[in-house]
Amino acid sequence: MSNLENKIYIAGHSGLVGSSITRRLINKKADTIVYKSSNELDLTSQKQVENFFSKSKPDQVYLCAAKVGGIHANNSFPADFIFQNLMIQNNVINESFKSGVEKLLFLGSSCIYPRNSQQPIPESELLGSYLEKTNEPYAIAKIAGIKLCESLNRQYGKSHNIDYRSVMPTNLYGPGDNYHHENSHVIPSLLRRFHLAKKNQEKKVIVWGDGKPFREFLFVDDLSEACEFIMNIPQIELNKFTEPMCSHINIGSGQEYTIREIAEIIKEVVGFNGEIIFDKSKPNGTMRKLLDSNLINNLGWSAKTDIYSGLKITYKEFLKKNEQSN
């Protein structure tokens, strides 16, 4: 359970992960939840972030804010991805430390691991080899965030009583996702394409790659449950399972599907009756990326939402958003 006396700042509260954590903590009646929109607070601005922390003085921080996107976005805007994510992380984590925040949770991504990692991927694979080229800048930024949290813990953990933790989720989906026609991830991108194809009575939907890569997916509300769980585990218990320089924790569902299988499931959920065409001239990305979630499972958490149930909830929310915008 959350400490009801805490003031909790959720950075990136309107995004996929941040909105889910916000919903969860509000439902738990956390005493005070603090958040600002990107229009109100530019997290890439050191001065703005410094001013915000000096005024709001949160006790805990969930750092969910990030510039994110799929293969196309990462390939097209590599400078934006590394710069903006580094700036957001450095500002929020540093100002958290300077203002006396004792507990912080940093949200990373499974793309931090080498392209040819052993499968499933344990936390110890970090920095073991070369990264996937299509999202290397984003991955390097996220690795830097992990190492900043670890370094602060190592240098100031005892003297300043800080405990900054990092979690690495697998591929996420669910309410609050980004459905941009070019810059979204695989599930929201496919949901949008199949929906439009059904709406426009088209006969086919084109999917990038050959459909053979495997992907693990996690429903976002399962992730927010895991984040609260990790945030509130006693430090002495967590230290039994982690090392000072390998302290991040994988969060996955343990279930993987080929892109072809996911496309077929989404086709069924949406109710599209046409054909799926795989464009083999487009990149596949990493062929397999299954996280080893034994650490968090051993701590007492596991995912609950199956892919069909999660996609039905997600598509229902997508339809609701479309009705509101029309």
CA distance 193 to 121: 31
DSSP 8-state code for residue 131 = P
Which residues are CB-neighbours of 182 under 8 A, at least 6 positions away?
72, 73
* CB-based contact 68:124 (threshold 8 Å): no
Catalytic residue, candidates 62, 138, 164, 315: 138
CA distance 34 to 92: 14
Of the candidates 245, 57, 251, the residue with the CA atom closest to the CA atom of residue 149 = 245
Q: Is 138 annotated in the active site?
A: yes
CA distance 265 to 215: 14
10 Å CB burial of residue 181 (0-12, 13-18, 19+) is exposed
Token pair belonging to 230: 């990790």
Token pair belonging to 212: 């053979």
Of the candidates 300, 52, 15, the residue with the CA atom closest to the CA atom of residue 177 = 15
Phi/psi class of residue 57: alpha, beta or left (left: φ > 0; alpha: ψ in -120 to 50)?
A: left
CA distance 322 to 326: 6
Catalytic site residues? 138
